[in-house]
Amino acid sequence: MLPELFCGGGARVAARLRAQELLQGPLSVHPDFLSVESEGRWLGIGEIRAFILWARYAPAAGPRRVALLGPAERLTSEAANALLKLLEEVPPYLAVVLYAEAPDRVIPTVRSRCRLRFSPSPKDAWRAALERAGYEAKEVDFLLELCEGREEELGNLLETKRDVFGEFTEAKKEAQGLPFPELFLRFSGEAADPLRRRAFAEVIFEKLLSAKTFQVLGAGEILARTGAMRDLFWELLRILRERLGREEILRSPWVSWAKKISLARGEIEANANPRLLAEVVLLWPRKG
């Protein structure tokens, strides 16, 4: 299989999606996947030699092994030269997927041995992947907005096409029928699924505005205990920003709440008292 080199602003996302497509499953747990990537440093000869050694072995769980390598412009000359022979004679069971945000800086001998693919932006790469998975335009727009800032979650929606709006509506209906404490308990179990997480968060948002103070205090204790605080703060902030954007109320008390949630997300990282932090954020709308 001819190596592929993805280029452009969305190159890394597009390359990872291609690797996932080839392996037909999540990359993080696949035994036949290898990532050779750098974060702001050069890829050296040692890493390429380790990759070449790994490439000698046949797949463990499927028809092929897949290696993701990049950014290709960060290969040292020595590493690039070591890679050339493998790129020229790729074993039949191996797929090599490279990416480069600056293809003009990739060593020409590496670039010439690859099939070039262009991806202008990460959003375009995700949009194309969702469309290939069978999602309609309205569903794609909804999912891109839903996972903005957490785009990696979209990968879990590619394996099997889901009924986006139907599932969202059903999840919201389910959440609306739950007692206030159970709603928070269930939220922690739904946090890994962006569709259900947002649906439950929207119901929490609505119920918070009319709940009794003692109910909110109890919810804060549950939220701190379940460890789902970061996910709920994320969703509440997104909901507030959307509503403020639609209503264009710059002086709304919700602006103050949005600022508090934004600050609270940083306080979580600083190991603030989780129960106290949850109570302050959830009670904040009463401040006005």
What is the CATH number for 34?
A: 3.40.50.300
Q: What is the pLDDT of residue 268?
A: 82
Residues 92 and 26 in one domain: yes
The pLDDT mean for the chain works out to 91
CB atoms within 10 A of CB 240: 19
| CA–CA gap between residue 73 and residue 108 (Å, rounded) | 10
SS3 145: helix
Q: Across residues 69-95, what is the average pLDDT?
A: 95
* Range list of β-strands (E), 113-195: 115-118
Q: 22-31, 121-130, 156-165 — which is least confidently predicted?
A: 22-31
Burial of 277 from C-beta contacts in 10 A (0-12 / 13-18 / 19+): buried
Q: Model-level pTM? A: 0.78
Q: Are residues 185 and 102 in the same domain?
A: no
Same domain, 26 and 78: yes
Task: Provide the residue count of the chain.
Answer: 288
Say yes or no to pLDDT of 287 above 80: no
Q: Indicate if 103 and 172 belong to the same structural domain.
A: no
Domain assignment present for residue 238? The answer is: yes
β strands within 164-223, DSSP E: none
| 59 belongs to a structural domain | yes
State residue 155's pLDDT score: 87
**Residue 1, pLDDT score:** 82
**Can you give the residue range of the structural domain that contains 46?**
4-120
pLDDT average, residue stretch 55-83: 94
Same domain, 100 and 209: no
Quick one: pLDDT band at residue 160, thresholds 50, 70, 90?
A: confident
Quick one: 185 and 255 in the same domain? yes
Count other Cβ atoms within 10 Å, centred on residue 77.
9
Residue 257 counted as domain residue: yes
The answer to whether position 241 is within a domain reads yes
Burial of 215 (0-12, 13-18, 19+ CB in 10 A): middle
**What is the torsional sign of CA 52, 53, 57, 60?**
negative
146 domain residue, yes or no: no
User: Using CA atoms, how far apart are residues 16 and 235, in angstroms rounded to an integer?
Assistant: 26
Q: How confident is the model at residue 252 (pLDDT cuts 50, 70, 90)?
A: low
Q: Is 140 inside a domain boundary?
A: no
Number of domains in the chain: 2
CA angle 18, 24, 28 (to 5 degrees): 80
Asked if residue 32 belongs to a domain, the reply is yes
The upper half-sphere exposure of residue 10, i.e. CA atoms within 13 Å in the direction of its Cβ, equals 18
Domain membership flag for residue 154: no
Q: How many CB atoms lie within 10 A of CB 250?
A: 7
Choose one of 67, 85, 120: the last residue of a domain: 120
Is pLDDT of 247 > 70? no
